Amino acid sequence: MTTARAHANIALVKYWGKRDEKLFLPTNGSLSMTLDGLYTTTTVELAERDELVLNGETQGPEALGKVTRLLDLVRAMAGSKAGARVTSINQVPTAAGLASSASAFAALAGAASKAYGLALDDVALSRLARQGSGSASRSIFGGFVEWRRGERADGLDSHGVPVVPQSHWDVRMLVTVLETAPKSVSSRVGMRRTMDTSPYYPGWIASAAADLVEAREAVLARDLAGLGAVMESSALKMHASMLAARPPFTYLQPASLAVIQAVWAWRAEGLAGFVTMDAGPNVKVLCAATDAEELAARLGALPGVEEVLVCGPGPGLSYEVS
């Protein structure tokens, strides 16, 4: 029986689109910040057949199927036919509406590989987690993390690499939780549709490699304004490409746009926050640790904002001994 914990991450340069859907190989490299405070804890014990219990509730075939797919990869490496009972708890405040697939598949990769007797290094774990959910490849590592696109058709060179550790930079990611309905288009379906139909998708891809270089350098130099500029550009180009898809779709809600415009207005007055958004309505705001309290208070007072979570850089995958 093995228990592993992995933290959520927020992409500063986004992943949106796969060049290989089966192996989860991305069309471009991405870069993220791992978050403290938000994590998934997963226990794996070998059993007669696969079973998934998430936050105390036994899951049906859809969620279990994704877990079984990852377990099959582990079983193939370990030469085992045993089933596994997977018990997982998401430490993400309820109603946060935050995607948990990154922390979930990173924790599963760690716990399952150990439970089946494998001793995988972090790069191998990242490749494995990637095949559960692309963004999970980044949650194996702490601090700021790059997911390399890779060139190989077999995906061996497509995995996370640490850029700087958790201690490198005292910034905060403020996660606004908006009062809205759950997302209608999954990221998997949304990225597929954008790639297939949006005339803006090639433009997004054309600038992604340069964005990655710029973001990596800004992180290394602790340049908040520089990182903020490229981070906003990466996110909004991605969302613009979705608006141009057929049929069109967007994760931007009226309250999302109101938060973005408020952050821009405060920035013009000298309070430096920078926005990003993923496949849901919540807006995340990057800022210096010293500005987090003021910005969180202002964000919390905006109409439609239910809650603001304040996250610093978080740690990589860890294990609990039981």
Binding positions for ligand FM0, rule: CB under 6 A? 11, 14-16, 24, 30, 99, 101, 133-135, 187-188, 278-279
Shortest Cβ distance from residue 304 to ligand FM0 (Å)?
Answer: 20
CA dist., res. 22 & res. 17, Å (int): 12
Measured distance CA(192)–CA(17) in Å, rounded: 6
Question: What gap in Å lies between CA 9 and CA 292, rounded to an integer?
Answer: 18
Residue 145, φ and ψ in degrees, nearest 5: -135, 140
**How far is 16 from 31, CA to CA, in rounded Å?**
12
Expressed in angstroms, the distance from the first to the final Cα of the chain is: 8
* Comparison of 227 and 291: residue with beta carbon closer to ligand FM0: 227
Provide the token pair at 134: 């692309």
Between residues 31 and 266, which has the closer beta carbon with respect to ligand FM0? 31
If the CB atoms of residues 134 and 160 are measured against ligand FM0, the closer one turns out to be 134
Cα separation, 179 vs 187, in Å, equals 20
The residue type found at 42 is T
Name which of 86 and 291 has its Cβ closer to ligand FM0: 86
- Shorter beta-carbon distance to ligand FM0: residue 104 or 305: 104
CB of 25 to ligand FM0, least distance (A): 10
Phi, psi at residue 310, to the nearest 5°? -105, 115
Of the two residues 16 and 116, which places its CB atom closer to ligand FM0 in the complex? 16
> Is 183 buried (19+), middle (13-18) or exposed (0-12) by CB count in 10 A?
middle
- How buried is 199 (Cβ within 10 angstroms: 0-12 exposed, 13-18 middle, 19+ buried)? exposed
Decide if 134 contacts 101 (C-beta within 8 A): no
As measured in angstroms, the least distance from the Cβ of 153 to ligand FM0 is 18
Please identify, using beta-carbon distances, which residue of 30 and 176 lies nearer to ligand FM0. 30
The nearest distance, CB 121 to ligand FM0, in angstroms, is 22
Closer CB to ligand FM0, 54 or 279, in the complex: 279
Quote the least distance from Cβ 149 to ligand FM0, whole Å. 12
Q: How far is the CB of 242 from ligand FM0 (least distance, A)?
A: 10
**Angle between the N-to-C axes of helices 101-115 and 61-78, in degrees from 0 to 180, rounded to the nearest 10:** 40
> In angstroms, what is the minimal distance from the CB of 195 to ligand FM0?
12
CB of 14 to ligand FM0, least distance (A): 4
Q: Name the 3-class secondary structure at 273.
A: strand
